Amino acid sequence: MYVCLCKGITDTQIRSAAESGASIREIRDQLGVMTECGKCACLTKDIVRTSRKESADAIGYWAVA
Ligand code: FES
């Protein structure tokens, strides 16, 4: 699903970046989300939080970044 229509970025791309350990700021810089109209900001942050929680649940603890 497209999350950022301005840059054509999908939830899969955001999730992949988050699972690689990228911060929201790094995801913004790398993918360009949240750099135009900003309407994708809330959903992008939700995807990153969910991805991190799922990763932490999978390994059994929260990584400190
Ligand atoms: S929808 Fe992402 S910056 Fe506009």
Per-residue pLDDT reduced to its tens digit, 10-60 = 999 999 999 999 999 999 999 999 999 999 999 999 999 999 877 767 666
Q: Is the alpha carbon torsion for 54, 58, 59, 61 positive or negative?
A: positive
Question: Which atom of ligand 1 is nearest to 39's Cα?
Answer: 1
pLDDT of residue 48: 95
Residue 65 lies in a domain: no
pLDDT of residue 53: 79
Residue 4 reports pLDDT greater than 70: yes
Q: How far is the CA of 45 from the centre of ligand 1 (A)?
A: 13
Cβ-defined contacts of 34-38 (< 8 Å, 24+): 34/4, 35/6, 35/7, 36/4, 36/6, 36/7, 37/6
pLDDT of residue 29: 97
Is the CB–ligand 1 distance for residue 8 below 6 Å? no
Domain of residue 44, CATH code = 1.10.10.1100
Q: How far is the CA of 48 from the centre of ligand 1 (A)?
A: 16
Residue 27 lies in a domain: yes
Is the CB–ligand 1 distance for residue 5 below 6 Å? yes
Domain range enclosing 17:
2-59
Q: What is the number of domains present in the chain?
A: 1
Read off the pLDDT of each residue in 4-9 and give the average, rounded to a whole number: 98
